[in-house]
Every structure is written in C-alpha cells, then in structure tokens.
Amino acid sequence: MGAAKKNLKATKKFEKKHLRGVLDKRKETAKIKQRHQIKDKKKARRAKDADFYKGPEKDGQNGAAEKSNGAPASRKVGEMSVDDFFQGGFQDIIDGQVAKPRKRKRGEPAADAGEDSASSVNEQPVASDSDDEDDGDEADEDIGMSKEAMDALAEKDPEFHRFLKENDPEALDFDQDADLAEVDELSAGEEESEVEEEEKKKEKKKRKKTKAVATDEDKEGTAAEDNRLTRATVDKWSKALVDKKSLRAARQVVLAFRCAAHVNEDAGAEKQGHEQPRWTIDSPDVFNGIVVLALKEIPAVMNHHLPVKESAAGRVYVQTESNKFKTLSMLLKSFTSSVMHLLGTLSDEKTVKLTLSSLTPVLPYLLSFKKLVRALTKAVVNFWAQPASSETTRITAFLVLRRLVVIGDKGIREGALKATYQGLVQGCRVTNHTTMQGINLMKNSAAELWGIDASVGYTTAFTLIRQLAIHLRNSIVHNKNESFRMVYNWQFTHSLDFWSCVLAQHCSPLKEAEAGKESQLRLLIYPLVQVTLGAMRLMPTALYFPLRFHLVRSLLRTCRATSTYIPLASPLLEVLSSAEMRKPPKASTLRPLDFAVAYKTTKAHLGTRVYQDGVGDQVVELLGEHMLLWAKSIAFPELALPITIQLKRWLKQARDRQTGNRNAKLASQLTLLAHKLEANASFIQDSRAKVDFAPRDRAQVAAFLADLDVASTPLGAYVLGQRRARAEREAVLEEARREDERKRREEEGRGEGEDEGEDEHQS
C-alpha cells in the first residue's frame, strides 16, 4: 500500500509540473519530423521530374561542376552532412546567395545604392540571352505601379504620398495590368531572336528620336481613344499568335479578353467613377473576334512554350519549377478566371461549347492551383447539371470533368466526384418529360467517372451511400408527420437510381474480366440494396406506389448487370395484397397516371379503375422482367413456385362476388403471367432431368442452358413480346406529346402577335 501511494503521488506530481512540457516537446518533435518528411518528398518529386525531362545526369557533368577542393559548386543545406557543412559547405551556400539574390517584389523599395550592379541584373524575373538596353527603355512603359503598392505607400509615408499627388500625380497612376507585365520580359528574348540585327538598330534609333514626342502626345490624347479596341489590332495579335506564338501578344490578348468578359461590369464601373478598363470594346464584331482568338490560340501558345508530357498511365508532367511557368502563371490564372466569368454570361450554344472546350488543354497547368481548380470544377458542373443546358453543352462539360479526373491527383479527383454528385442531385429536382432525357444523360455520364480511380471511387461512393442511409434512418427514428419527405422525393429517388447505374456499369462480369480482378465497388451492392428496400417500405401506402416501382426498376438494373439475386417479388406482391388492389374500383374520367414521371399519385386517382389498371400493368411488367433474369436458371421452378401460389390466391379472392376485385382486365393479365411461369418451370424441369451432375458442381450449374437464347423459353417469348408492345405504345404517346407541345407554342406565338398588334393600334 505504501509503495502504491508513493507511485500515485509521483504520478500526480509529474502531471502537475512536467506533463505539459513533455507533451509540448513531443508536439514540437512531431512537427520537425513532419517538416523533414515533406522536404524529402519534395526532393524526391523534383528528382523524378528532372529524370523525366532531362534524363539521368552524367558523371562527367557532375565532375565538371565540382570545385578544385572536391565539393560541388552549389549545394543546398538539405543535401549536406554535418561534416561537409563545417568543412566549408557554408561558404558555398553564402556564395550561392550572393550570386543569386532574391527577386525584388513589385512595390518593394529598391536596393541600397552600394549594391553591386551585377546583382540588379539578376533580379529580373526571367533572364534572356538576347535582352539588351531595349528592355530598359520599355520597362517603364510595361511595368506599372500596382494598386497595392500605392496603398502601402500611402500608409507608410503619407507626407511623401501627398507630395507626389500634388507635384507628380502620374507617378501614382497604378497599372491594373501589372500582374501580367512580366510576360513581356519573357517574350523579349524569344521575339528579338527572330528579328535581324539591322532592324533592331534602326528600331532603337527611331524609338530614341520619337520617345519624347510620343510621350507628349499620349498625355494630350484622350484615354478613350487610346483604349478603344479595333479589328485591326485583333488581327495583328492573331497573326503574332499564330505565326510567332508571341507571349507579348498573348498578354495583350488576355488583357483584352478579360475586358470582354467583364464588358458589362466595366461599363457600370466607369459610370460610377471607378478606374477605366485597359481596353474599351464597343463593337460586336470586335467582341466576337477577341473572344474566339483567346479561346482558340491562348491554349496553343501555352502548350508551345510549356509542353505537357503525358505518361502511359495517364499522368501529366509540367515543369512547374521553371521560371517560365512562374511568369506565365499569372497569365494562365487571368485567362481561366475570365473564362469562368464569361461562362456565366453566355447563352449561345456554340459559344458555350467553344468556351468549355478551351478549358481542356489548360487543365494540366492548373493542377498546382487547388483553389482555382475547385472554382473551375464548380463552374463546369453548373453547366453540366443545368436543366436548361442542351445535350451538346452537357457532353462538352462532361469531357472537361472527365479530363480533370483522369489527370488530377486523389484530392482533385475526390473533389470533382463530390461536386459532380452534388450537381446531379440539384439538377434532378424537377423531373418531367422535358428534363428526363437530360437527367438520364447526367446519370450515365457521371457513372463513368467513378470507374477511373477504383480507390477514390469506392471511398466517395461509400460516403455518399452512407449519407442516404442516414437520411433513411432519421426518417424512421424521428417518426413525425413530415419526416418521410426527406426520403420520398425526386432527389433521393434519383440518387439511388444513380448508384445503381454506377454499380451496373463497373461491376458487370464483362467489365471485371477486362480488368482481371473483381471491382471494389461490388462491396457496395449489399448496402445499396438494403437502403433501397428500406426506402420503398417506409410508407407502404397506395399513394406512393409509383416511387416503389421506380426503386424496383433500379434494383432490376443492378440485378441484371451484376448477376446478383435480389428478392424483388416480395415488394411487388405486397402491392397486390394492399387494400387498393383488393377492393372493386370506381369508375372515373381521369387521365391515366404517367408512372415514368411521377413518384406519387393524386388523391383523386385513389380507388379508381384507371389507377388500378395502371398499377396492375406495372406489377405484371416488373414481375415478368424480374423472373426473366432467371428464366434459364436451373432453380427456376423453386423460384417461381411461391409467386405462382400468391398469384392464384389473389385471383381466387378477386372472383368473389361480394368482396372480390372484379377487374377483368387485371385478372386476365395475372392469369396469363401465372400460366407462363408454370410453363417455364415445366420447361426447366424437363431440361434438368437430363443432366448428370449434382448441385455441388458449381461450374456445371452455371453452364446450364448457357447457350440457349432466352427468347426460346416460354417466359422469355412472353416478356419480350410485351416489351415490344410497350415500346410501340410509348412511341405513339411521345409523338402525341410532341404534337401537343408544338400546337401550344404556335398558340402562344399567335397570342403574342395579336397583343403586339393591339398595342400598335392603340398607340
């Protein structure tokens, strides 16, 4: 006991005085270890990129780069051991820092006068072999003072700012395009190498003579005249981009494209007294020209100066560590932001398609900018899921999303998949004959994305199906009046149907045979089936029979594609056993309910003959389709026996003169279905009587009647005939709907014309 008390006191004393310090020390150690791991990963990635682009370095190059004392010419601290550092490695680091001073940021005070002149040359963002004093002449013209630098000057030295404002106001005119000015410096060396030496000398002399005069004329001329964009200027830029891949012209095109994308906002800002835009666009022809030029040529110019390399596995590589990429990143961000803003203002289908298509080539350059990628994904998904979007627009937007998922890392893929699912759920809020085709296109296209990366697809699918299960559980636990509406709506129904599309597309035996292994998504079949069965039994009333039929069709798709047996006969026989289908129907003049675009019926339809006939058609169709999947199974007689007994029992009760259903049409349909089930069971019994293998021989059981066409079975011939008849009826109804829609539009147009004529007559 004494030893235990002593240990207890020691523990309390340690917790009181030393525990916090020990925990803090552990946290600091963990942070340091994490930083070292991040550095090692970056170093390995850079080495991998260098090997990919340049190949392994030769021993001769390494030997030539070494100094006389055997140490490398320039080495990083992370690449040195402790002994190398104290033996003189720190001198190499100091020499490297002197030779390569840091870049002076825009708006930062200039270096001291005592600095070496050579270091000021190295401070340029991008060095070029052909740069000369011509760059110095144009530096003041191209690189302006940014607004952030002007605001910082006003805060740090208000007296000097006031002095400049009174004596030299032009010095405070910030350049709204300063973020793209470095592109001109990058293009200087590339463009001047293509010009002859004599032309450069003549151009220098001419510029020196006319510089003062041009400056005076610019001050005297009006800003509106200088900033007006003309067709000739656009054509000049187009020639420079196509022929020379000029970055200077690309910068001007991006600036003009940004003004075109914000043309309406710029006009409003000018009226309110804000700064004037770089370019003024007042011609539709010029607007169309600059937009088309930017969308077509800017991606080509980027690919020319920064080629994208793609591996056999689909990975893309861009030299993000190069100075050229750092300089062009501002141009790339400005172009992408302008494209996203322009998408929100376009209505023409061809222009929208061109704008979306221009994003695909620049996606590899955007992978480093996570925030921009998220905004871009959201903008593209908006067009893909918008009910008003045409089929062409949806497909173009989907191709952009697919390319992003293919080349992106796991984080980008997960974000794109979740954004796609969210867009799908929002886009299917309204379901009718007009939007149903677009919703089906979204489901089928989005299902493809979940098969690109199996691990990310499984993780996101599991999380989102779990959310559906939580919604269902909350509706069951919180048994309030309106709690079931969390589940009984179009969005929940389409979500379950979408996941059945995903599993049907990626868990089929053919797909798994091509991949050589079983799909990870197959593990989600059971939870999805459980959630779907629970949803259809949440409200077992006749009002929501249409929703039950929708969910049964979803499970039928999963069952058909994955060869998984799902007991669907029970929820269909529950419909026949309901009070709605046992009572004799009432006569009614209501139109038949369209089960394809309804998840619940109206109260006026309940108990009527037209609704009972429609429900009967759905039950017969779905029971036949369900049993057709197992029409060639060696166990079909055992599967069909309980269904046949239930159908005959219902038919016997329906013939009762007092309490029977007395619906001759429904009774004849169910009688024919029961007869076909019995005939198919007899056919299977005759066929399996000839086999000589036991049920334990799984391979032989699976191969039973595998070569037989399902149409040759009694049930198959009946179901396929019913399927053709329904397709013909649906085609006639669709043609009638289109004719009614055409007449309605003509009447609306005629009515608008009459209203305009009356207004003109009164005026």
Angle, helices 664-688/714-762, rounded to nearest 10 degrees: 140
Based on the fold, state whether residues 296 and 334 are members of the same structural domain: yes
672 or 35, higher pLDDT: 672
Last residue of a domain, one of 345, 367, 382: 345
In terms of average pLDDT, the best of 322-336, 479-493, 561-575, 652-666 is 561-575
Query: Is residue 482 assigned to a domain?
Result: no
The one-letter amino acid code at 85 reads F
Other C-beta atoms lying within 10 Å of the C-beta of residue 630: 17
pLDDT the model gives residue 49? 62
Strands (E), 438-536: none
CA 584/CA 657 separation, integer angstroms: 10
Long-range contacts made by residues 695-702, C-beta under 8 angstroms, separation at least 24?
701/634
Query: Is residue 374 assigned to a domain?
Result: no
- Shortest CA distance to 558 belongs to which of 599, 530, 534? 530
Other C-beta atoms lying within 10 Å of the C-beta of residue 114: 5
Classify burial at 50, counting beta carbons within 10 Å of its beta carbon; exposed 0-12, middle 13-18, buried 19 or more: middle
pLDDT the model gives residue 30? 87
pLDDT the model gives residue 78? 47
Based on the fold, state whether residues 91 and 239 are members of the same structural domain: no
pLDDT the model gives residue 62? 44
Residues 6+ apart with CB under 8 A from 427: 385, 386, 387, 438, 439, 442
Last residue of a domain, one of 313, 345, 377: 345
Other C-beta atoms lying within 10 Å of the C-beta of residue 33: 10
Which pLDDT band, with edges at 50, 70 and 90, does 656 fall under?
Answer: confident
Total domain count for the chain?
4
Provide φ and ψ at 215, rounded to 5°. Answer: -65, -45
Query: Is residue 515 assigned to a domain?
Result: no
pLDDT the model gives residue 160? 60
Based on the fold, state whether residues 589 and 735 are members of the same structural domain: yes
CA 230/CA 290 separation, integer angstroms: 10
* Per-residue pLDDT reduced to its tens digit, 59-105: 444 444 444 444 444 444 445 544 454 444 434 543 444 344 444 44
Residue 709 sits in which domain range? 569-745
Q: Average of pLDDT values for 642-658? A: 90
pLDDT the model gives residue 515? 84
CA 469/CA 475 separation, integer angstroms: 10
225 or 584, higher pLDDT: 584
pLDDT the model gives residue 646? 94
pLDDT the model gives residue 329? 87
Query: Is residue 132 assigned to a domain?
Result: no
**What 3-state class would DSSP assign to 761?**
helix
Which residue matches tokens 């072999």? 129
CA 532/CA 557 separation, integer angstroms: 13
pLDDT at 118 over 60: no
Cβ pair 194, 248 in contact under 8 A: no
- At 61, list the tokens: 């190059």
Last residue of a domain, one of 345, 368, 394: 345
Which pLDDT band, with edges at 50, 70 and 90, does 225 fall under?
Answer: low
**36-45, 209-218, 400-409: lowest mean pLDDT where?**
209-218
Q: What is the DSSP string of 617-656?
A: HHHHHHHHHHHHTTTT-TTHHHHHHHHHHHHHHHHHHHT-
CA 413/CA 98 separation, integer angstroms: 43
Beta bridge partners, 228, equal 280
Angle CA(430)–CA(436)–CA(438) in degrees, nearest 5? 100
Based on the fold, state whether residues 78 and 49 are members of the same structural domain: no
Per-residue burial over 279-310, b = 16 or more CB atoms within 10 Å of its CB, e = otherwise: bbbeeeebbebbbbbbbebbbebbeebbebee
Query: Is residue 553 assigned to a domain?
Result: no
pLDDT the model gives residue 212? 44
Q: Average of pLDDT values for 372-380? A: 94
Which pLDDT band, with edges at 50, 70 and 90, does 698 fall under?
Answer: confident
CA 540/CA 556 separation, integer angstroms: 20
Q: Average of pLDDT values for 629-634? A: 92
Based on the fold, state whether residues 576 and 717 are members of the same structural domain: yes
Based on the fold, state whether residues 51 and 78 are members of the same structural domain: no
Which pLDDT band, with edges at 50, 70 and 90, does 219 fall under?
Answer: very low
* Per-residue pLDDT reduced to its tens digit, 266-323: 555 454 445 567 788 888 888 999 999 999 999 999 888 888 888 777 788 888 888 8
Based on the fold, state whether residues 274 and 327 are members of the same structural domain: yes
Residue 685: C-alpha distances to residues 633, 648, 680, 695 (Å): 10, 21, 9, 14
Query: Is residue 198 assigned to a domain?
Result: no
Which pLDDT band, with edges at 50, 70 and 90, does 471 fall under?
Answer: very high
CA 505/CA 293 separation, integer angstroms: 40
pLDDT the model gives residue 142? 39
pLDDT the model gives residue 707? 86
Cβ pair 547, 590 in contact under 8 A: no
pLDDT the model gives residue 754? 59
Based on the fold, state whether residues 707 and 647 are members of the same structural domain: yes
Q: Average of pLDDT values for 191-215? A: 48
Residue 415: C-alpha distances to residues 324, 440, 672 (Å): 29, 22, 52
Residue 59: C-alpha distances to residues 52, 513, 696 (Å): 18, 47, 66
Query: Is residue 44 assigned to a domain?
Result: yes
pLDDT above 70 covers a percentage of the chain that reads 72
The one-letter amino acid code at 385 reads A
SS (H, E, C) 246-263: CHHHHHHHHHHHHHHHCH
Which pLDDT band, with edges at 50, 70 and 90, does 746 fall under?
Answer: confident
pLDDT at 216 over 70: no
Based on the fold, state whether residues 284 and 337 are members of the same structural domain: yes
Q: Average of pLDDT values for 360-368? A: 92
Based on the fold, state whether residues 35 and 91 are members of the same structural domain: no
pLDDT above 90 covers a percentage of the chain that reads 41
Q: What is the DSSP string of 553-591?
A: HHHHHHHHHHT-----HHHHHHHHTSHHHHSPPBP--PP
Q: Average of pLDDT values for 347-353? A: 88
**What 3-state class would DSSP assign to 174?**
strand
- pTM for the whole thing? 0.71
DSSP symbol at 316: E
CA 419/CA 381 separation, integer angstroms: 7
Which pLDDT band, with edges at 50, 70 and 90, does 217 fall under?
Answer: very low
Beta bridge partners, 316, equal 310
**Cα 693 → chain centroid:** 52
Based on the fold, state whether residues 53 and 71 are members of the same structural domain: no
pLDDT at 130 over 90: no
Query: Is residue 137 assigned to a domain?
Result: no
Mean pLDDT of the chain: 78
pLDDT the model gives residue 757? 57
Cβ pair 418, 432 in contact under 8 A: no
Q: Average of pLDDT values for 399-406? A: 94
750 or 222, higher pLDDT: 750
103 or 533, higher pLDDT: 533
Q: Where is 517: in which H helix or E strand?
A: none
pLDDT the model gives residue 335? 92
Q: What is the DSSP string of 109-162?
A: PPPPTTS-HHHHHHTSSS--TT--HHHHHHHHHHS-B-HHHHHHHHHH-HHHHH
pLDDT at 590 over 50: yes
pLDDT at 213 over 50: no
pLDDT the model gives residue 526? 95
pLDDT the model gives residue 553? 96
- Largest Cα separation within the chain, whole Å, is 113
Which residue matches tokens 């996941």? 499
Q: Average of pLDDT values for 597-623? A: 93
* Per-residue pLDDT reduced to its tens digit, 473-510: 999 988 777 788 899 999 999 999 999 999 999 999 88
668 or 227, higher pLDDT: 668
Other C-beta atoms lying within 10 Å of the C-beta of residue 199: 10
Cβ pair 233, 279 in contact under 8 A: no
Beta bridge partners, 310, equal 316
pLDDT the model gives residue 51? 62
pLDDT the model gives residue 661? 80
Residue 122: C-alpha distances to residues 98, 183, 434 (Å): 10, 17, 63
Q: Where is 333: in which H helix or E strand?
A: helix 323-343
CA 616/CA 192 separation, integer angstroms: 81
pLDDT the model gives residue 684? 93
pLDDT at 620 over 90: yes
Based on the fold, state whether residues 641 and 612 are members of the same structural domain: yes
622 or 514, higher pLDDT: 622
pLDDT at 258 over 60: yes
